[in-house]
Structure 1
Amino acid sequence: MGCHKKLYLLTLAAVVVTAGCVEAVHAYLRSQKKKPTPTKTKQTVHDEELIREQLARNYTFLSEKGMEKVRNQRVVVVGAGGVGSWVTTMLVRAGVLALRIIDFDQVSLSSLNRHSVATLADVGVSKVEILKAHSLQVAPWCEIDAVNSLWTLPDAEKLIYGGDFNPTYVVDCIDNIDTKVDLLAFCYRNKIPVVSSGGAGCKSDPTRINIGDISSTEEDPLCRSVRRRLKKMGINGGIPVVFSAEKPDPRKAALLPLEEAEFENGPVEELSALKNFRVRILPVLGTMPGMFGLTIATHILTTIAGYPIEPIEGKNRIKVYDGILQSLAGQQTRVGENDQRVPISIHDVQYLVEEVWRGKSPISNYSTRLTLCRWDPKKEPSYQNIVLMTKEEQKMHEQRVLNGGEPVEAVYDTKVLANVRRRFAEEEYYSQYR
Structure 2
Amino acid sequence: MPSNQGWKGLVAAAILAAAATKFFDSLHQSYKASRRRLSEETGKANGSSKANGKVHYDSELIREQLARNYAFLGEEAMQSLKNQYIVVVGAGGVGSWVVTMLVRSGIYKIKVIDFDQVSLSSLNRHSCATLKDVGTSKVNCLKDHLREIAPWCEVVAVNELWNKENAGRLIYGEDGEDKPTFVVDCIDNIDTKVDLLEFVYQNDIPVISSMGAATKSDPTRINVGDLTTTEEDPLARTVRRRLKQRGITKGITVVFSAEKPDPRKASLLPLPEDEFQRGKVDELSAIKDFRVRILPVLGTMPGVFGLTIATWLITKISGYPMDPIEGKNRIKVYDGIYQSLAGQMTRIGMPDQRVPVALKDVGYICEEVFRGKSPLSGYSTRLTLSKWDPSLPVSIQNVVLMTKDEQKNHEERVLNGGENLVDVYSKETLEFVSKRLKEEEYYSQFR
Which TM-score band applies after superposition, normalised by the shorter structure?
A: 0.5 to 0.7
Code of the aligned partner of 2:159: N
User: Which residue is equivalent to 1:381?
Assistant: none
User: Which residue is equivalent to 1:223?
Assistant: 236
Q: Sort the Cα spacing of 1:146 and 1:328 in 2 relative to 1 into closer, same or farther, 3 A.
A: same
Mapping of residues 37-76 of structure 1, within 5 Å: 42=53, 44-76=55-87
Q: Sort the Cα spacing of 1:282 and 1:220 in 2 relative to 1 into closer, same or farther, 3 A.
A: same
8 Å contact 2:232–2:257 — kept in the other structure? yes
8 Å contact 2:221–2:329 — kept in the other structure? no
User: Which residue is equivalent to 1:285?
Assistant: 298
8 Å contact 1:187–1:194 — kept in the other structure? yes
How far apart in 2 are the matches of 1:263 and 1:130? 38
The CA deviation at 1:100 is: 0.5
User: Which residue is equivalent to 1:325?
Assistant: 339
Q: Sort the Cα spacing of 1:12 and 1:266 in 2 relative to 1 into closer, same or farther, 3 A.
A: farther
Code of the aligned partner of 1:97: Y
Farther off after superposition, 262-271 or 230-239:
262-271
User: Which residue is equivalent to 1:88?
Assistant: 99
Structure 1 unmatched runs, 5+: 1-7, 29-37, 334-348, 355-370, 372-434
Q: Structure 2 length as normaliser, TM-score? A: 0.65
Is 1:253 the equivalent of 2:261?
Answer: no
Residue deviations 1:325-383, cap 9 Å, x none? 314646999xxxxxxxxxxxxxxx98xx99xxxxxxxxxxxxxxxx9xxxxxxxxxxxx
SS in structure 2 of the partner of residue 58 of structure 1: helix
How far apart in 2 are the matches of 1:263 and 1:44? 58
Q: Sort the Cα spacing of 1:316 and 1:249 in 2 relative to 1 into closer, same or farther, 3 A.
A: closer
How far apart in 1 are the matches of 2:66 and 2:81? 11
User: Which residue is equivalent to 2:28?
Assistant: 14
Code of the aligned partner of 2:132: A
How far apart in 1 are the matches of 2:134 and 2:140? 12
The CA deviation at 1:320 is: 6.9
8 Å contact 2:109–2:153 — kept in the other structure? yes
How far apart in 2 are the matches of 1:124 and 1:40? 36
Residue deviations 1:376-398, cap 9 Å, x none? xxxxxxxxxxxxxxxxxxxxxxx
User: Which residue is equivalent to 1:301?
Assistant: 314
User: Which residue is equivalent to 1:156?
Assistant: 167
How far apart in 1 are the matches of 2:191 and 2:37? 52
1:209 aligned residue (222, 246, 269): 222
The CA deviation at 1:103 is: 0.2
> How large is the RMSD of aligned CA atoms in angstroms?
3.5
User: Which residue is equivalent to 2:411?
Assistant: none
User: Which residue is equivalent to 2:209?
Assistant: 196
8 Å contact 1:213–1:239 — kept in the other structure? yes
Q: Sort the Cα spacing of 1:288 and 1:152 in 2 relative to 1 into closer, same or farther, 3 A.
A: same
Percent identity of paired positions between Structure 1 and Structure 2: 61
The CA deviation at 1:153 is: 0.7
The CA deviation at 1:14 is: 3.5
SS in structure 2 of the partner of residue 307 of structure 1: coil
Mapping of residues 377-388 of structure 1, within 5 Å: none
8 Å contact 1:39–1:141 — kept in the other structure? no
8 Å contact 2:185–2:209 — kept in the other structure? yes
Q: Structure 1 length as normaliser, TM-score? A: 0.67
How far apart in 1 are the matches of 2:38 and 2:283? 55
SS in structure 1 of the partner of residue 94 of structure 2: helix
Residue deviations 1:126-166, cap 9 Å, x none? 00001001111110001111000000111111000114432
Code of the aligned partner of 1:325: Q
Structure 2 unmatched runs, 5+: 1-21, 42-48, 348-361, 368-383, 385-447
The CA deviation at 1:258 is: 2.3
Q: Sort the Cα spacing of 1:152 and 1:215 in 2 relative to 1 into closer, same or farther, 3 A.
A: same
User: Which residue is equivalent to 2:255?
Assistant: 242
Code of the aligned partner of 1:98: K
User: Which residue is equivalent to 2:185?
Assistant: 172
How far apart in 2 are the matches of 1:125 and 1:70? 30
Residue deviations 1:376-432, cap 9 Å, x none? xxxxxxxxxxxxxxxxxxxxxxxxxxxxxxxxxxxxxxxxxxxxxxxxxxxxxxxxx
User: Which residue is equivalent to 1:100?
Assistant: 111
Q: Sort the Cα spacing of 1:52 and 1:305 in 2 relative to 1 into closer, same or farther, 3 A.
A: same
Aligned residues: 323
How far apart in 2 are the matches of 1:41 and 1:298? 34
1:78 aligned residue (89, 95, 99): 89
User: Which residue is equivalent to 2:440?
Assistant: none
Mapping of residues 350-429 of structure 1, within 5 Å: none
Is 1:131 the equivalent of 2:142?
Answer: yes
